[in-house]
Amino acid sequence: MFNKGDMMIYSSHGICLVDDICSNRFQGVDKDYYVLHPIADRKLTIRIPVDNKSVTMLELIEEEEAEKIIDSFSKPGRSWIEINNERNQIYSETVRTGNRKDIAAIVNTLMRRKYSAEQAGRKFSDKDRKLLNVVQGILFTELAISLSTTFDVVNERVTALLANEA
């Protein structure tokens, strides 16, 4: 269970701050709810039952794990799936698991493919670009928070690791 003031990863909204935990009665049943604000959109308020198992609510990773994840970008990511829809489905399912190592491997693969496409003057697919932008944004922001740094510093570190492999 999260406490007021904690940060968490909440589904596709990314990193959220737990502003409050309150009880509400709905259809005659009292339930506890988290009141969340995504750090990327402070105007949005989300209320989600504390016991909701149908969405992903994860604790932020620790500093040591964040360092390991950044270091993982020095190695190849996942194998590339040539069929676009199959790739998007498998990668999206992996992201939903919340496993940061697997998510980092997908971001790694997509970043490498994007770079390769750009170097060859080819277009990087819109679906791949969208998935990369969303997942990279959430992952790198979480890494930055865990390492007490910024998104840009994490991005620079990862980009340097990828450039050393190119």
Per-residue pLDDT of the chain (166 residues; tens, 9 = 90+): 899 999 999 877 889 999 999 998 888 889 999 999 999 888 999 999 999 888 888 999 999 999 999 999 999 999 999 999 999 999 989 988 889 999 999 999 999 999 999 999 999 999 999 999 999 999 999 999 999 999 999 999 999 999 886 5
pLDDT at position 97 is 87
Is 69 found in the same domain as 43? Answer: no
CATH number for 50? 2.40.10
Which of 12, 11, 23, 80 is CA-nearest to residue 49?
23
Is 88 found in the same domain as 41? Answer: no
The answer to whether 94 and 102 are in contact (CB under 8 A) is yes
Give CA–CA dist 144/72, Å, rounded.
16
Is 52 found in the same domain as 21? Answer: yes
Which structural domain, as residue segments, surrounds residue 88?
A: 63-165
**Token pair of 166 as six digits:** 């190119």
Is 130 found in the same domain as 86? Answer: yes
Which of 39, 36, 40, 60 is CA-nearest to residue 48?
36
Is 37 found in the same domain as 97? Answer: no
Domain annotation covers residue 2? no
- For 73, half-sphere exposure in the C-beta direction (CA atoms, 13 angstrom radius) is 27
Which of 110, 99, 126, 120 is CA-nearest to residue 76?
110
Is 139 found in the same domain as 77? Answer: yes
Beta-bridge partners for 47:
35
Domain annotation covers residue 1? no
Looking at 15, 44, 59, the residue that finishes a domain is 59
Is 93 found in the same domain as 152? Answer: yes
Is 27 found in the same domain as 85? Answer: no
Is 87 found in the same domain as 124? Answer: yes
Query: In terms of C-beta density within 10 A (0-12 exposed, 13-18 middle, 19 or more buried), how is residue 127 classed?
Result: middle
Q: How many separate domains does the chain show?
A: 2
Which amino acid is residue 1, in one-letter code? M
Is 19 found in the same domain as 67? Answer: no
pLDDT at position 27 is 86
